[in-house]
């Protein structure tokens, strides 16, 4: 590549950190020259409603894709968990980078962990996946919506509206806010969502030269694990209006995949949970493995939990 590579990025502090991180990788490992193009997306503008009600994850990526389409940028950097399971025609995820901590974090100014929270305490999160898993762990808690970027969410906690909040550790760590984490949930008690903690690089499918060079950044263990996670979500018709968790980790050469599904409308219904483990070596196998985990959830009655179409 002779010209500069332009990265389209959202302008939240986390998105900018992630874009700068990828810029440095491209400069150091691929000797590319890189500039950032910051933009505001619909997802950043709509702060008063739950995302699942206004169109879902695609809200954070659409404007970036338009910039790629129009040639204003070459590459978009996303938190993988915000990337819809099906990309629009003409776009491709070319690389998934090594994953940061995939766990969810418990953040509070008063309590050290979930068990310490008093009966009926108010906990903030807007993720349906976190809501159903929190309800399963502590049915007494009062769970209240909490949106906005990480700084906004921490400020709302500090203003006293919540006894605790739950957010992704990865984001807090990237922004140097690790000291706010009182404890991390294990991936068994609070299964992360597909792709949590990983960064995905999206390009136009016809960008052959760029695709070839970026493929050098793929972290294979993360790539296979997240392909399996995303396949679960895709198979169940994944959208962020679905309280679905899917997290894979390596046990030697085996991939262990844990999944959970709650009912968004009836949060008191029992959480469906399954886990499978097998040797996985190719993307094809990872996708089939994810499909198998989705089938395990269907065998437990997932159909009755999914939104009726």
Ligand X SMILES: NCc1[nH]cc(CCC(=O)O)c1CC(=O)O
User: Which residues sit at the interface with ligand X, rule CB under 6 A?
Assistant: 79, 81-82, 167-168, 170-171, 196-197
User: Residue 170 CB, nearest distance to ligand X (Å)?
Assistant: 4
Alpha-carbon span 175 to 172, nearest angstrom: 5
CA angle at residue 35 from 29 to 40, to 5 degrees? 125
What minimum distance in Å lies between the beta carbon of 31 and ligand X? 27
Question: Active site residue: 35, 48, 82, 219, which one?
Answer: 82
CA dihedral sign, ordered 111, 113, 119, 121 = positive
Would you say 198 or 286 has its CB closer to ligand X?
198
Judged by CB, which is closer to ligand X: 23, or 247?
247
Nearer to ligand X, 247 or 273 (CB): 247
DSSP bridge pairs for 39:
10
CA separation, residue 251 to residues 220, 248, 274 (Å): 15, 10, 17
Please count the other Cβ atoms lying within 10 Å of the Cβ belonging to residue 49.
Answer: 12
Shortest distance, position 261 Cβ to ligand X, whole Å: 18
Cβ contact 10:187 at 8 Å: no
Residue 35 among the catalytic residues: no
For the bound state, the minimum distance from the C-beta of residue 219 to ligand X, rounded and expressed in Å, comes to 14
Backbone phi, then psi, for 255, in 5-degree steps? -100, 130
Residues with active-site annotation: 82
């Amino acid at each position: 590549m002779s010209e500069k590579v332009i990265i389209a990025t959202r302008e939240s502090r986390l998105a900018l950190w992630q874009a700068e991180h990828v810029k440095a990788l491209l400069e150091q490992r691929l000797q590319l020259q890189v500039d950032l193009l910051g933009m505001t997306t619909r997802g950043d503008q709509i702060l008063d409603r739950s995302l699942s009600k206004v169109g879902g994850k695609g809200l954070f990526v659409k404007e970036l894709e338009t910039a790629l389409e129009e040639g204003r940028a070459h590459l978009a950097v996303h938190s993988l968990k915000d990337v819809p399971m099906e990309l629009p025609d003409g776009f491709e995820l070319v690389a998934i980078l090594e994953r940061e901590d995939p766990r969810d974090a418990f953040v509070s100014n008063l309590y050290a962990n979930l068990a310490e929270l008093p009966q009926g305490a108010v906990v903030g999160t807007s993720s349906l996946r976190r809501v159903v898993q929190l309800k399963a762990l502590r049915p007494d808690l009062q769970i209240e919506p909490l949106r906005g970027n990480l700084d906004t969410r921490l400020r709302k906690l500090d203003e006293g509206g919540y006894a605790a909040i739950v957010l992704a550790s990865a984001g807090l760590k990237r922004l140097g806010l690790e000291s706010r984490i009182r404890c991390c949930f294990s991936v068994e008690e609070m299964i992360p969502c597909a792709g949590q903690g990983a960064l995905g690089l999206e390009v136009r499918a016809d960008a052959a030269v760029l695709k070839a060079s970026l493929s050098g950044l793929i972290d294979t263990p993360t790539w296979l694990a997240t392909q399996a996670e995303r396949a679960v979500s895709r198979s169940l018709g994944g959208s962020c209006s679905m309280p679905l968790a899917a997290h894979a980790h390596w046990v030697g050469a085996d991939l262990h995949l844990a999944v959970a599904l709650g009912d968004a409308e009836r949060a008191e219904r029992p959480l469906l949970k399954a886990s499978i483990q097998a040797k996985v070596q190719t993307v094809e196998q990872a996708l089939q493995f994810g499909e198998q985990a989705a089938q395990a959830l269907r065998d437990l009655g997932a159909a009755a939990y999914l939104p009726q179409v």
